[in-house]
Structure formats: C-alpha cells, structure tokens
Amino acid sequence: MSENIGIGSYKDLSNGADTIRTTSDNLKSSLNDGNSSISRLQNPRVLEGPIGDHINGIWKIVNNTTANNISTFEQSATTLNNVEDNYHATDNKSSNDVGGVI
C-alpha cells in the first residue's frame, strides 16, 4: 500500500497537533468540572466519614493521572509542531541545494 506524500502533508502534522491540543483542552475542562463537583461534596454534612475520605483519595489519583496525561498531550503536540518545522526546513534546504546545482 503506497501513498503519495506531497507538500500538503505537512498539514497532517499540524492537524495532529491541533487534535491533541483539543483533546487536552477537553480534559482540562472535564477536570475542572470534576474538581467543582468534588468541592461541593466536601462541604460539611454532605459526604463525611470513611466514604468521603475514600472518594477524596480516589479523586486525587484520578486528578493527578489526568493532569499528567494533559501534560503529556501538550508535549506531544509541541513535538509534532517541531517535527513539522524541521521537515519544512530540511525540505527547503534540500530544494535550494538541488536548485543551486542545476
């Protein structure tokens, strides 16, 4: 299975980075919503005792894991943008070098 890859293929990298950033933003929004909900549960007389402590402990794990995933997504998006820039620069240099020989 062979695909033709042209100059427009650079956009695939930036589109991938945009998709990752959108996912990251959605996760941030969901995490903020969850933090708000947990905050309401932590009000006195709403959810107390061992069950409240257990839920708070679980939420901390979910919160930390999600925050780490968001950070990884953002690093991945930046890496894709850097790869795109490097491919672009290399292709331009190669094109200029070949053009200079002709």
Please count the other Cβ atoms lying within 10 Å of the Cβ belonging to residue 85: 13
- Residue carrying structure tokens 């890496």: 79
**pLDDT tens digits for 1-48?**
455 555 557 788 889 999 999 999 999 999 999 988 888 877 777 777
**pLDDT tens digits for 45-82?**
777 788 888 888 999 999 999 999 999 999 999 999 99
Q: Which helix (H) or strand (E) holds 24?
A: helix 10-41
Tokens of 64: 């930390």
- Angstrom distance (rounded) from CA 58 to CA 56: 5
